[in-house]
């Protein structure tokens, strides 16, 4: 009996190994369609009957709407969960915001996962608020409330928006897009995340917040400069990884090693901004130069367990 059990187990494992692995990140559309057809509720967007409206509540063909091309990547898990809830409640109470995008296409800046959920359910139509304000396409961070943005999501969306805007309005000042980009450090971190998706941006966020500001340069020129900043930040992080490896070899196993090292080499960690003071304590380029030097000169023997304990307390707070 034991021999048969082992043989059966081997066959099962062999069969599992032979079966093709499912590809991640794919969502299958519903097999059956439901809802109204476009002809049942059709009205042209340029119709004189709605020309005077500032905002129009409409039922749109699902295939006619697509997310803005610079939104964060789709989370299939979240989309499936959303589809389940919509199906359970038999209600869709949160309409998309839709604007005209490039080439006259309909873009939604805040409904990527709801669109995906509707496709999973096989819906023909989706409810939307159509706005004539095309600039809403670049207000993703302010409008998108269906799934919390983490630092990586926000940074990648901002840099994608910036690259799109640079193609059409690249001569305008970067500072003129402050409302769309929300925070200047997101641009720098976005470039880093494009190159290194697993970059620990949270460790450097506090540092960048103190020194990074929106540039008065043209957007195209500013992005070129930020590309240099991002490259230097990646080099600093490579040195930080070596420092962490050295500390681990000395017996330090704290999960806060990276935060501790970055804090130690942060040239503005003790700077306290005065009320109403918006100027950085030093320019980004200078801060990166000093940070790189501090990383090169880092003394492993100067680290103690008590130091790491204070970092842990700070992280908890």
pLDDT digits (tens, 9 = 90+) for 207-266: 999 999 999 999 999 999 999 999 999 999 999 999 999 999 988 888 889 999 999 999
Tokens of 251: 């017996």
The residue assigned the tokens 């600039």 is 135
Tokens of 9: 């187990």
Model confidence at 206: pLDDT above 50: yes
Identify which has the larger pLDDT, 139 or 118: 118
- For residue 135, which of 109, 96, 163 has the smallest C-alpha distance? 109
Identify which has the larger pLDDT, 207 or 49: 207
Contact 296, 264 (CB under 8 A): no
Residue 145 has a pLDDT of 56
Residue 9 has a pLDDT of 44
Average pLDDT over residues 51-75: 81
Model confidence at 6: pLDDT above 50: no
Model confidence at 4: pLDDT above 70: no
Model confidence at 204: pLDDT above 70: yes
Considering the chain, what is the average pLDDT of its residues?
A: 83
* Sheet of strand 65-67, all strands in order from the earlier edge strand to the far edge: 56-61, 125-130, 96-100, 106-108, 65-67
Average pLDDT over residues 171-178: 96
Q: What is the DSSP string of the chain?
A: -HHHHHHHHHHHHHHHHHSPPPPTT--PPPSS-BS--GGGS---TT-TTSTT-SSEEEEEEGGGEEE-TTSPPP-HHHHHHHHHHHHHHT---SPEEEEE-GGG-EEESS-HHHHHHHHHHTBSEEEEEE-S-GGGGG-HHHH--SS---HHHHHHHHHHHHHHHHHHHTTSBGGGGHHHH--HHHHHHHHHHHH-TT--HHHHHHHHHHH----SSBHHHHHHHHHHHHHHHHHHHHHHHHHHHHHHHTT---TTHHHHHHHHH-TTTT--PPTT--S-SS-HHHHHHHHHHHHHT--GGG--HHHHHHHHHHHH-
Q: Which of 142-156, 178-192, 203-217 has the lowest mean pLDDT?
A: 142-156
Q: How far is CA 5 from CA 2, 10, 11, 17, in A?
A: 5, 9, 10, 18
Choose from 74-78, 93-97, 257-261, 274-278 the range with maximum mean pLDDT.
257-261
**Residues β-bridged to residue 67:** 108
Half-sphere exposure of 193 (CA within 13 A, CB side): 24
For residue 170, count CB atoms less than 10 angstroms from its CB and return exposed for 0-12, middle for 13-18, buried for 19 or more.
middle
Grade residue 17 by pLDDT with cuts at 50, 70 and 90.
Answer: very low
Grade residue 277 by pLDDT with cuts at 50, 70 and 90.
Answer: confident
Model confidence at 11: pLDDT above 50: no
The residue assigned the tokens 């995008």 is 101
Contact 300, 264 (CB under 8 A): no
Average pLDDT over residues 32-52: 68
Q: Which of 23-32, 193-202, 208-217, 258-267 has the lowest mean pLDDT?
A: 23-32
Average pLDDT over residues 96-105: 85
Residue 53 has a pLDDT of 57
Residue 90 has a pLDDT of 78
């Amino acid at each position: 009996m034991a021999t048969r059990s082992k043989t059966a187990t081997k066959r099962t494992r062999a069969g599992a190994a032979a079966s093709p692995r499912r590809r991640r990140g794919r969502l299958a559309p519903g097999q059956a369609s439901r809802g109204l057809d476009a002809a049942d509720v059709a009205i042209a967007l340029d119709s004189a009957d709605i020309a005077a409206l500032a905002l129009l509540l409409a039922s749109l063909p699902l295939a006619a709407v697509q997310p803005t091309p610079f939104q964060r990547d789709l989370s299939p898990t979240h989309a499936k969960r959303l589809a389940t809830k919509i199906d359970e409640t038999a209600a869709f109470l949160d309409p998309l915001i839709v604007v005209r995008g490039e080439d006259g296409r309909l873009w939604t800046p805040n409904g990527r996962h709801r669109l995906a959920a509707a496709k999973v359910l096989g819906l023909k139509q989706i409810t939307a608020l159509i706005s004539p304000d095309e600039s809403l396409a670049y207000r993703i961070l302010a409008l998108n409330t269906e799934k919390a943005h983490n630092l990586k999501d926000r940074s990648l969306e901002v840099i994608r928006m910036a690259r799109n805007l640079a193609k059409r309005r690249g001569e305008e000042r970067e500072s003129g897009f402050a409302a769309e980009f929300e925070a200047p450090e997101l641009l720098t971190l976005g470039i880093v995340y494009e190159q290194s998706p697993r970059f620990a941006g949270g460790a450097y966020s506090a540092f960048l917040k103190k020194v990074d500001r929106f540039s008065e340069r043209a957007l195209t020129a500013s992005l070129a400069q930020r590309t240099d900043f991002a490259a230097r930040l990646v080099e600093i992080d490579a040195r930080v990884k070596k420092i962490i490896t050295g500390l681990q070899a000395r017996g330090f196993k704290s999960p806060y090693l990276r935060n501790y090292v970055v804090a130690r080499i942060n040239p503005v960690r003790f700077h306290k901004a005065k009320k109403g003071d918006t100027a950085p304590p030093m320019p980004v380029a200078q801060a990166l130069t000093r940070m790189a030097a501090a990383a090169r000169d880092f003394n492993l023997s100067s680290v103690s367990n008590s130091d790491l304990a204070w970092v842990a307390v700070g992280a908890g707070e």
